[in-house]
């Protein structure tokens, strides 16, 4: 019999039991439920609702339950519908009558919300930390190939040469915004719902601010109905993961391209490639494909929860139990992607020669050549047209742009533009992909990393 079935004339049907039990997945919250319960016991003692021996007894039982979970000896009771009722049932078995006082001035509604906020707070910290490691892996990959460059693309057509470090830093800056977002969300969710009761608070003289402080929350809830009924903090966490996932998906797609024979800019290390069951020569970039593939799942978890929330009247509704699986799934999966992708970048073999040869496609110099003419006072639109005509001439005759420039009156002085790396060195504007500008960005990146590490 569940905690509340005793009042009912007939037991719950198995079909409803199977539908509504959540122990099978919410046992992941056990440590957070225990943390919340400890704070609640201390709050009850402080309010004079438990005497010291009673409080000590309950705290001892909560420790015992923790040890049972840690040692994998905790046994679920046949009618424990979720982790919260399971722990209360076990505590009562261990301490007898005083166990009945544990749930004074508490509902599962504020209890669940408290445990879930504690879980999400830790999860966001862990994801931010793993994201920071990926940022460092990207920087290290760039540092390992100083001066290396590759074509930068627009519309996946070669556009202008860019430094490899600049290219990888672009991903790093996006990830740093993700980290910022994770930590902002962590701050917003850091409000204790404990003491909100089922929905309206309680007539018992507890002090939510006291338990909030014990649990390391920045404040206690302001409104009991809001405290038990909103899962905006879960939706926000899922969004943070979804966007981080989208960023990693783009990185994954890029690695798939780079490691294809067609691009051949890089090879994934043996530790980060898989073989094919049928084609012995294959080296597959599954790590990159899964980084791309998991993002669909993260987006699904977010949109699913938003759909769950949108029609709910105040305050608690059982629909809210559907918040947990998407959250647990996104958290565990994004940590897997972050770790594997960092390893893949740390062991990536970048083919400097191949990438440089592609970036020295004379056509890639066209924009810089036009800018060179601008330096001589030619209005940009005219310079653009002039170089466009030269490029068309080269294409029509099937010769290189360099050869056309070489034979064109007045342009020979610009032939040096076609020297290896020459255009890159000229890219000096702030934030640009030239060596000096890139060094400035690296310094900014390092400051942002220190700042994020400080906030962690
Ligand atoms: N397992 C449930 C959840 O996650 C517990 C809350 C049940 N509360 C209630 N009023 N029926 O939401």
Q: What is the distance, to the nearest Å, from the Cα of residue 374 to the centroid of all Cα atoms in its chain?
A: 44
Q: pLDDT tens-digit profile of 257-266?
A: 999 999 999 9
Secondary structure E strands in 107-183 = 149-154, 157-163
What is the Cα gyration radius of the chain?
A: 30
Q: How far apart are the first and last CA of the chain?
A: 44
Q: pLDDT tens-digit profile of 24-73?
A: 999 999 999 999 999 999 999 999 999 999 999 999 999 999 999 999 99
* Weakest mean pLDDT among 192-196, 212-216, 402-406: 402-406
Q: Please tell me whether the overall predicted TM-score, pTM, comes out greater than 0.75 for this model.
A: yes
Q: For residue 275, what pLDDT is reported?
A: 81
Q: Indicate which residue of 155, 203, 277, 429 is catalytic.
A: 155
Specify the residue with its C-alpha closest to ligand 1, atom 7: 108
123 pLDDT above the threshold of 70: yes
**DSSP state letter for 98:** G
- Ligand 1 mutation pick, 81, 88, 108, 309, max ligand atoms within 8 A of CB: 108
Active site (annotated) includes residue 192 = no
DSSP 3-state of 311 = coil
- Ligand 1 mutation pick, 33, 82, 227, max ligand atoms within 8 A of CB: 82
Assign residue 194 a region (left: φ > 0; alpha: ψ between -120 and 50; beta: otherwise). Answer: beta
Contact criterion met (CB below 8 Å) for 242 and 302: yes
Residue whose pair of structure tokens reads 């007045």 in the numeric block: 410
Active site (annotated) includes residue 185 = no
> Distance, CA 83 to ligand 1 centroid (Å)?
10
Closest ligand 1 atom to residue 320 Cα is: 12
Ligand 1 neighbour 131 (Cβ under 6 A): no
In 320-418, alpha helices (H) = 324-346, 352-359, 366-375, 380-397, 401-407
272 pLDDT above the threshold of 70: yes
Q: For residue 274, what pLDDT is reported?
A: 85
Is the bond preceding residue 315 a cis peptide, omega within 30 degrees?
yes
Q: pLDDT tens-digit profile of 164-201?
A: 999 999 999 999 999 999 999 999 999 999 999 999 99
> Distance, CA 197 to ligand 1 centroid (Å)?
12
Ligand 1 neighbour 334 (Cβ under 6 A): no
Ligand 1 neighbour 108 (Cβ under 6 A): yes
In this prediction, residues 137-146 reach a mean pLDDT of 96
Q: For residue 9, what pLDDT is reported?
A: 77
DSSP 3-state of 349 = strand
CA–CA distance, 236 with 408 (Å, rounded to integer):
59
CA–CA distance, 393 with 78 (Å, rounded to integer):
82
Tell me phi and psi for residue 56, to 5 degrees: -65, -40
CA–CA distance, 125 with 240 (Å, rounded to integer):
12
> Distance, CA 61 to ligand 1 centroid (Å)?
23
* Weakest mean pLDDT among 28-37, 86-95, 421-430: 421-430
Residue 333: pLDDT band with limits 50, 70, 90: very high
Which tokens go with 66?
């923790």
Residue 278: pLDDT band with limits 50, 70, 90: confident
Instruction: Characterize 338-347 residue by residue with b for buried, 16 or more Cβ atoms within 10 angstroms of its Cβ, and e for exposed.
Output: bebbbbbbbb
CA–CA distance, 108 with 127 (Å, rounded to integer):
28
């Amino acid at each position: 019999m569940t905690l509340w079935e005793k009042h009912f004339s007939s037991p719950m049907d198995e079909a409803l039991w199977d539908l509504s039990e959540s122990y099978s997945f919410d046992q992941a919250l056990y440590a957070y439920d225990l943390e919340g319960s400890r704070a609640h016991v201390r709050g009850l003692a402080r309010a004079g609702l438990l005497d010291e021996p009673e409080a000590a007894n309950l705290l001892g039982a909560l420790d015992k339950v923790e040890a049972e979970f840690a040692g994998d000896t905790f046994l679920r009771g046949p009618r424990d519908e979720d982790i919260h009722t399971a722990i209360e049932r076990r505590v009562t078995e261990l301490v007898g009558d005083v166990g009945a006082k544990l749930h004074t001035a508490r509902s599962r509604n504020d209890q669940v919300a408290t445990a879930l906020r504690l879980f999400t707070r830790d999860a966001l910290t862990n994801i931010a930390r793993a994201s920071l490691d990926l940022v460092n892996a990207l920087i290290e990959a760039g540092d390992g190939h100083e001066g290396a460059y590759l074509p930068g693309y627009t519309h996946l057509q070669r556009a202008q040469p860019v430094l490899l470090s600049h290219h990888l830093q672009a991903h790093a800056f996006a990830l740093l915004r993700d980290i910022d977002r994770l930590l902002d969300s962590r701050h917003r969710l850091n409000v204790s719902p404990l003491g909100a009761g089922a929905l309206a608070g309680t007539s018992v003289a507890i002090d939510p601010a006291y338990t909030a402080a014990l649990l390391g929350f920045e404040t206690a809830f302001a409104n009991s109905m809001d405290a038990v009924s909103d899962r905006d903090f879960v939706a926000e966490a899922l969004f943070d993961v979804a966007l981080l996932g989208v960023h990693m998906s783009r990185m994954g797609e890029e690695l798939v391209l780079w490691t294809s024979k067609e691009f051949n800019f890089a090879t994934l290390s043996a530790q980060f490639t898989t073989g094919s069951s049928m084609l012995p020569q294959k080296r597959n970039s599954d790590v990159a494909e899964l980084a791309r593939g998991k993002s669909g799942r993260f987006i699904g978890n977010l949109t699913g929860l938003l759909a769950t929330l949108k029609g709910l009247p105040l305050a608690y509704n059982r629909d809210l139990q559907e918040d947990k699986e998407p959250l647990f799934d996104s958290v565990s999966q994004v940590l897997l992607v972050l770790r594997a992708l960092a390893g893949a970048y740390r062991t990536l073999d970048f083919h400097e020669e191949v990438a440089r040869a592609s970036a020295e496609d004379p056509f890639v110099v066209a924009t810089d050549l036009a800018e060179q003419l601008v330096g001589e006072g030619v209005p940009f639109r005219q310079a653009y047209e002039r170089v466009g005509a030269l490029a068309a001439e080269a294409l029509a005759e099937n010769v290189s742009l360099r050869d056309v420039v070489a034979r064109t009156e007045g342009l020979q002085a610009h032939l040096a533009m076609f020297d290896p790396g020459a255009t890159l060195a000229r890219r000096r504007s702030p934030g640009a992909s030239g060596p000096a500008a890139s060094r400035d960005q690296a310094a900014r990146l390092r400051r942002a990393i220190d700042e994020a590490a400080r906030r962690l």
